[in-house]
Chain A
Amino acid sequence: MTEASDLASAYDLVVIGGGPAGLAAAALAARAGVSTVLFDENPGVGGQIYRGITSTPLKKRAVLGEDYWAGAELAAEAKASGALIVTGATVWSLDPTRQVGVSIAGKARMIEARRVIIATGSLERPFPIPGWTLPGVMTAGAAQTALKAHGLVPNGRVLLAGCGPLLWLLAAQMLRAGARIEAILDTTLRANWLRAVPHLPDFLLSPYWSKGLALLREVRAKVPVIPIERLSARGEGKLQQVDYVSRGKDSRRQADVLLLHQGVVPNVNLANAAGVAHRWNERQICFEPVLDVDFGSSVPGIAIAGDGAGIAGGTAAAERGRIAAIAAVRALKPSASVPDPQSVRQKLQREELGRGFLDTLYRPADAFRLPEDETIACRCEEVTAKQIRDMAAIGCEGPNQMKAFLRCGMGPCQGRLCGLTVTELIAASRHTRPADVGYYRLRPPVKPITLAELASLPISEAERKAVER
């Protein structure tokens, strides 16, 4: 186990996040002879997509699928490359001078990096419905984490609701692991099918086409799929019932577990706090960093690879990590031999072909992004959609002013669960665009650290002198 005190004070390259982008980037850079450290906050590498890849108790390969096991190769390559891979390491700060604040086992360090690749991936898009804070209502991602890391599937009457490729993948994985799913409440707008048609030719060329179709068939054979327009969770102290409207008709089902998912969005928190410029992506309805062809950001020396650069999926993430790493190696050590980035770019293009279709088809409906009035938008501070709309109506123009009035986004999640909802609610109320409303200015630490951890930062030379004097 690497401890905080074992770390050097500086590295050529710091990679943050050990999913496909981070693993591929660290492996390529370290093999080229660049001193590389990879930090990941989880007990093992893999990120969300390959979570538990070196430790999962699910040894039957068919449960998680061959695409999952592709992660094992990436992890092995990174391990063999000579990169220092530190798990259980939470990066809580990154600034434009590339000082990296990291905590390992309760001890903090500041590390200097000549280059940084942020590979912190994606987050599930907020899915604010009435009752989404009830025990028993979880995100599909949380259920997938339990499955991959511990081989656990939820007990009782389980419903899935939402849209997107990952919802279908999770359903298939749960079924293969022996779970029972009562129904899938599909929020995909029927009109989206028409809008997605122009993107179909590209999609047919992408690897997602045949895989996706097989998944849909597999799940539909075992679980009823109900198209819905409205959704709410109800219960005393815990989830008991799910109400929904399907084709204009009110229905309800008893349920113990409701798993929600409507796609993923880039996890922008660390890049935002580091001062990286972001822009609104209307097709993916989220903010994403402004990047050059090598995934370099507006802050010199900081690149962003993987889904954090805009959602494109796990295999694309690895190629993006390689491209970012090639640029880093060329800047740090021009004499090193690296793969031809052009060939990597071609692979990446193929991986990205299917996105237009998926983004358009699975664009979450307004009703599930702009919640009704009494629905909680900010879970940490329990702020309702109505409070946000009212503030916007009396002149609050942006999320940062909203923080001051309502404290939304000020809790421990730092806006991860409410940021997009707040931006879109303000934009809708003020009849403007999310691009003009903007996003929270995020403050470090981007992950909470204890006062004791911060106090454990090694005392600098200057401070020691000040005390001795």
Chain B
Amino acid sequence: MVRTADVVVIGGGLHGCSTALHLALRGLKPILVEKDYAGRHASGVNAGGVRQLARDIAEIPLSLSSMAIWEHIEELVGDDCGFASHGTVLVAESEAEFADFRARVDDLRLKGFTHEELIDRAELKRLVPAVSDHCPGGVVSRRDGAADPFRTTQAFRKRAIEKGAEVMEGTTVTGLSRVDKTWRVETSAGPIEALKVVNAAGAWADRIAAMLGEPVPLEVIAPMLMVTSRVPAFIEPVVILRSRKLSFKQTGNGTVVIGGGHRATPFRDQNRTVLDWEKLAISARTVWELFPIMREATIVRAWAGIEARMPDEIPVIGPSSTSEGVYHQFGFSAHGFQLGPGTGAMMAELIATGATNVPIDGLGIARFVAR
């Protein structure tokens, strides 16, 4: 039996689920194909940061449009996704760093972006009282926040199904071919025919791109996170550093999630990662220096989600360069969670109408295609 759909979305991460939902909201019939279950990898186990701060200029418009959705997320998916907005603070650890941050904020203002705001030592202390005294200031994005990643992905999946999307989990894509204008997506559960295909396959997206004759230099990465036992509430915003890899956030239930980009070794064909404790120890030492209050906290769990990183650390978004009707949405390079809601909306608009008002210049796959 050949199934038919308007669009086949490959990948059940937050991006795939969001695109499927927004397609369904536009009255199209998407089938989402996921090899494991929705949110099994990076979408379900990332740090949950909903951050506009410190993004590449090319993805700022997408990030801002996504933030507008996050702020009303419950209206869209019927679940608040655990989203709480206490801002993200980028802490400067030296005067030199602080000067760099000032230059960045000034530059953003000239380009018309005002979400990043320079703060002095006093405001930093007000926002993050527990921060060590050696920090001269920082940058805040006050509307940023954090959400529960697995819950968010599941909420998008559930609402997509309610709005008419079909979700096939435990189903692997094995081939892509085209007859006239119709794409035939071969899967482990039989073929699906559709006019459009979205490649939102995360760490496996290069394999889909390769089937289309568009090899991309995708690196499979597994950023590590660890979480502590509950400690009394002491910090509201998400805190990130620049020169040392750290992101730091206390959840509503008191646990503290420590991340920042040190990586495990991923084995994507086994769905496994092997943690690097010496690198996690570096994060532990950074927290030790920055937040003395955390020294006796207990680490209860460490993990890493498998995802894709592009060499320029910005995603691949937009139409395929070789195959009409195929769209890419992958390579979010460890900062795709916040972008999920907005990118899905933009992608659905692009597929349904042929155009979008959200600028995605500079994110196309063409930048990796050899001329």
* Prevailing SS type, chain B contact patch: mixed
Could you say which of B154, B280, B287 contacts A404, with CB atoms under 8 Å apart? B154
Residues of B near A459 (CB, < 8 A) are 281
Which of the candidate stretches A12-20, A53-61, A94-102, A319-327 sits at the interface with the other chain? A94-102
Is A401 interfacial (CB-CB < 8 Å)? Answer: yes
Contact: A455 with B285, CB < 8 Å?
Answer: yes
How many whole Å from A38's CB to the nearest CB in chain B? 21
Could you say which of B44, B272, B277 contacts A101, with CB atoms under 8 Å apart? B277
Residues of B near A448 (CB, < 8 A) are 229, 298-300
Contact: A404 with B151, CB < 8 Å?
Answer: yes
- With A and B bound together, what is the CA distance between A258 and B274 in angstroms? 42
Is A449 interfacial (CB-CB < 8 Å)? Answer: yes
Contact: B298 with A443, CB < 8 Å?
Answer: no
Task: Name A97's closest neighbour in chain B (CB-CB).
Answer: B274
Contact: B281 with A412, CB < 8 Å?
Answer: no
Residues of A near B288 (CB, < 8 A) are 451-452, 455
How many whole Å from A416's CB to the nearest CB in chain B? 13
- With A and B bound together, what is the CA distance between A412 and B227 in angstroms? 11
- With A and B bound together, what is the CA distance between A448 and B228 in angstroms? 9
Task: Name B271's closest neighbour in chain A (CB-CB).
Answer: A441
Is B371 interfacial (CB-CB < 8 Å)? Answer: no
Is A193 interfacial (CB-CB < 8 Å)? Answer: no
Contact: B44 with A452, CB < 8 Å?
Answer: no
Contact: A443 with B302, CB < 8 Å?
Answer: yes
Residues of B near A155 (CB, < 8 A) are none
Residues of A near B301 (CB, < 8 A) are 410, 414, 443-445
Residues of B near A460 (CB, < 8 A) are 278
How many whole Å from B269's CB to the nearest CB in chain A? 13
Residues of A near B298 (CB, < 8 A) are 412, 448-451
Residues of B near A404 (CB, < 8 A) are 39, 44, 148, 150-151, 154
How many whole Å from A91's CB to the nearest CB in chain B? 12
Q: Which of A400-426 contact B (CB under 8 A)?
A: 401, 404-405, 407, 410-412, 414
Residues of B near A455 (CB, < 8 A) are 281, 284-285, 287-288, 295
Could you say which of A110, A397, A410, A454 contacts B299, with CB atoms under 8 Å apart? A454
Contact: B275 with A444, CB < 8 Å?
Answer: yes
Residues of B near A99 (CB, < 8 A) are 277
Residues of A near B211 (CB, < 8 A) are none
Is A87 interfacial (CB-CB < 8 Å)? Answer: no
Q: Sort chain A's interface into a size bin.
A: 20 to 34
A-B contact list, 18 entries, CB within 8 Å = A95-B275, A108-B281, A110-B278, A397-B37, A404-B148, A404-B150, A405-B150, A445-B299, A448-B298, A451-B284, A451-B287, A451-B288, A451-B295, A451-B299, A452-B288, A452-B295, A452-B296, A455-B281
How many whole Å from B243's CB to the nearest CB in chain A? 11
Q: Can you list, as one digit per residue, whether each of A146-170 has a CB less than 8 Å from chain B (1) or not (0)? A: 0000000000000000000000000
Task: Name A394's closest neighbour in chain B (CB-CB).
Answer: B158
- With A and B bound together, what is the CA distance between A93 and B274 in angstroms? 11
Contact: A93 with B278, CB < 8 Å?
Answer: no
How many whole Å from B222's CB to the nearest CB in chain A? 13
- With A and B bound together, what is the CA distance between A459 and B148 in angstroms? 33
Is B122 interfacial (CB-CB < 8 Å)? Answer: no
- With A and B bound together, what is the CA distance between A99 and B284 in angstroms? 19
Task: Name A403's closest neighbour in chain B (CB-CB).
Answer: B150
Contact: B300 with A463, CB < 8 Å?
Answer: no
Is A457 interfacial (CB-CB < 8 Å)? Answer: yes
A445-B302 contact, Cβ under 8 Å, with A96-B274, A97-B274, A110-B277: yes
